Amino acid sequence: MRRIAIINQKGGVGKTTTAVNLSAALAEAGQRGWLIELDAQAHASLHLGLVITDHSPSMYDVLTGQANLGDICHPVESNLWLSPSHLDMAAVEMELAGEVGREIILRDAMATVDQEFDFVILDCPPSLGVLTLNALTAADEVLLPLQPHFLALHGLSKLLKTIELVARRLNPGLVLSNVLYCMYDSGTRLAGEIVHDVQRFLDSERNSSSVWAEAQSFDTVIRKNIRLAEAPSFGQSIFGYAPNSNGAYDYRSLAQEVLRQTTTISDRHRTLSSVQTPL
Ligand SMILES: Nc1ncnc2c1ncn2[C@@H]1O[C@H](COP(=O)(O)OP(=O)(O)OP(=O)(O)O)[C@@H](O)[C@H]1O
Ligand SMILES: [Mg+2]
């Protein structure tokens, strides 16, 4: 199982669009997926047409110890389950302020769920607060969506330092695995320049011991596509709303790339375990 946290503390860069449509593309490809929503805006739930009442339990209740995570895994499409958020989540930061071990509540809750999944995708809010820390502690890897425009890289060093700290103190296996360019406009020179700057940075870090030493930019870029912006108001992923759009094409291509990585990762694990087997 791969646990991928989609994180960028910058708002509106394509985190939720990616969480929803990558999950849906993986599900379409036959993978069992679980999308966990950690943002009070609850846009992922809206996007997938899951409406919960004010009295139904949500991730808010799980994080505050009032519900079991297993009880809020709702099936939303074939092969895809969603654990929804709620506006109440906005208060979690303050409510958990004095709680010991507040960064590992989600990880502990996930360990109690006995359903089998191939992928867990965590949709995070645009901040580096306690919800994002919970995602970083529960995940194996971070997928960083970037919108290649002015100030795209602003705040990136703070994000990288946070991932590094969480890896050092709470989650030793955590890495930044991938950068994904969203709302990509190939017609602008700036987009090309930002992609080039990020690539130069990643290449310069290859031999470092940092958590981003092996990070790759996906070959797939998510182009600007109005259908992706329209789909949430119809409560459907891009595959339900506009299956032949460029947006659907890009997210399918992204899912294939993610699946190829999974094969490489499990091959590497197989090789390592055969090397470590005593004669
Ligand atoms: N490739 C795209 N082409 C066109 N519009 C897009 C694309 N990706 C996302 N959008 C739109 O851009 C807006 C921001 O996207 P999204 O909600 O995914 O960002 P976010 O990073 O999750 O935002 P937040 O930080 O508020 O959670 C949304 O209205 C979404 O529909
Ligand atoms: Mg979002």
Q: Model confidence over 38-60: pLDDT tens digits?
A: 999 999 999 999 988 888 999 99
According to the model, what pLDDT value does residue 104 have?
97
How far apart are the C-alpha atoms of 55 and 178, rounded to whole Å? 37
- Residue 257's SS3 state is helix
Lowest mean pLDDT among 42-51, 95-104, 130-139, 186-195: 186-195
Asked if 154 and 10 count as a contact pair (C-beta separation under 8 A), the reply is yes
Residue 270 clears pLDDT 60, i.e. is over it: no
Binding site membership of 233 for ligand 1 (Cβ less than 6 Å): no
- Taking only Cα atoms into account, the Rg of the chain, rounded to an integer number of angstroms, comes to 18
Given pLDDT bands bounded at 50, 70 and 90, which one contains residue 149? confident
Q: How far is the CA of 229 from the centre of ligand 1 (A)?
A: 7
Atom of ligand 1 nearest to the CA of 39: 27
Binding site membership of 234 for ligand 1 (Cβ less than 6 Å): no
The closest of 181, 163, 161, 176 to 206, measured between CA atoms, is 176
According to the model, what pLDDT value does residue 51 have?
86
According to the model, what pLDDT value does residue 278 have?
44
Give the mutation target among 6, 7, 10, 17 for probing the ligand 1 site: most ligand atoms within 8 A of CB.
17
Residue 103 clears pLDDT 50, i.e. is over it: yes
According to the model, what pLDDT value does residue 155 have?
83
Residue 216 clears pLDDT 80, i.e. is over it: yes
Binding site membership of 16 for ligand 1 (Cβ less than 6 Å): yes
Residue 264 clears pLDDT 80, i.e. is over it: no
pTM for this predicted structure: 0.94
* 45: alpha, beta or left? (left if phi > 0; alpha if psi -120 to 50): alpha
How far apart are the C-alpha atoms of 262 and 6, rounded to whole Å? 17
How far apart are the C-alpha atoms of 48 and 167, rounded to whole Å? 32
pLDDT averaged over the chain? 92
The closest of 213, 218, 243, 217 to 228, measured between CA atoms, is 243
Residue nearest to atom 11 of ligand 1 (CA): 229
